[in-house]
Amino acid sequence: MSFPLLGENFPSIEVQTTHGPKSFPEDYKGKWVVLFSHPADFTPVCTTEFVSFQMHKEAFDALGCELVGLSVDQVFSHIKWIEWIKEKLNVEITFPIIAATDTLAAKIGMLHPKKGSNTVRAVFILDPEGIIRTILYYPQEIGRNIDEIVRSVKALQKSDAEGVATPANWPENELIKERVIVPPASDCETAEKRKQQYECFDWWFCHKEA
């Protein structure tokens, strides 16, 4: 089975969603996108995730990032489920949910045969050109940390804007806090200058204010 990899364009698909038919990712060109799959509607862990994604939507909006859900349930199931969430939990799901076929789910790597017939908890972060920048997979029994997905989008945008890398747990890294990492020198002359230009542990590990 082959499915999309980091750095590749997300495959073009025509899909039915709770917001009507869409061409994905073409309809989202120019925006960051978090496409996330869930095993099934009307399941407890998935319900907590959808509520959390919705409660974080302002954070995604501030980053110019759209949310799109997906599972192999039919669209009428998605509609009924989000009605239930609004009625019982007082949370209105405002982002679209794709009704995928098994073939489509397999094409984009969301069906893992040894984890059952439902889609796994996959996350694809796409940049404004539709290129896959991050892929995360979670088993059915573990809900996602939505804060980490927000953080990942922020980190990717920071890296793109400034040509830097972000450390572990950024912006709360244990060594350099909210600072960012300067790419290592690629020649001897640059390496010699690094400690004069930046704060460094050594010439290959320099950092600066974000």
pLDDT score for 9: 93
pLDDT score for 118: 66
**Angle at which helices 44-55 and 146-162 pack, to 10 degrees?**
40
Task: Indicate if 17 and 114 belong to the same structural domain.
Answer: yes
**What is the token pair recorded at 80?**
């009924």
Annotated active-site residue 200? The verdict is no
Task: Indicate if 87 and 171 belong to the same structural domain.
Answer: no
Global confidence as pTM? 0.92
Task: Indicate if 27 and 103 belong to the same structural domain.
Answer: yes
Quick check: is 151 in a domain? no
Q: Which stretches of the chain score pLDDT less than 50? A: none
In this structure, the strands spanning 132-138 and 97-99 are: unpaired
Quick check: is 34 in a domain? yes
pLDDT score for 108: 75
Task: Indicate if 115 and 169 belong to the same structural domain.
Answer: no
Helix H or strand E segment including 205: strand 205-208
Quick check: is 150 in a domain? no
Distances, alpha carbon 14 to alpha carbons 26, 186, 197, 198, in Å:
10, 44, 50, 48
14 forms bridges with which residues in the sheet? 23
Domain total for the chain? 2
Q: Which member of 46, 188, 200, 206 is catalytic?
A: 46
For residue 107, give the nearest of 40, 6, 10, 208 by alpha carbon: 10
pLDDT score for 116: 60
Q: What share of the chain is helix, strand, coil (3-state, %, to 5)?
A: 35, 25, 40
Quick check: is 44 in a domain? yes
Residues spanned by the domain of 128: 13-144
Quick check: is 108 in a domain? yes
Return the CATH number at 56.
3.40.30.10
pLDDT score for 117: 61
Quick check: is 1 in a domain? no
The number of angstroms, rounded, from the C-alpha of 174 to the middle of its chain's C-alpha atoms is 24
Residues in the chain: 210
Amino acid found at 16: Q
Q: What is the pLDDT of residues 87-115, one digit of tens each?
A: 999 999 999 999 987 777 777 777 666 65
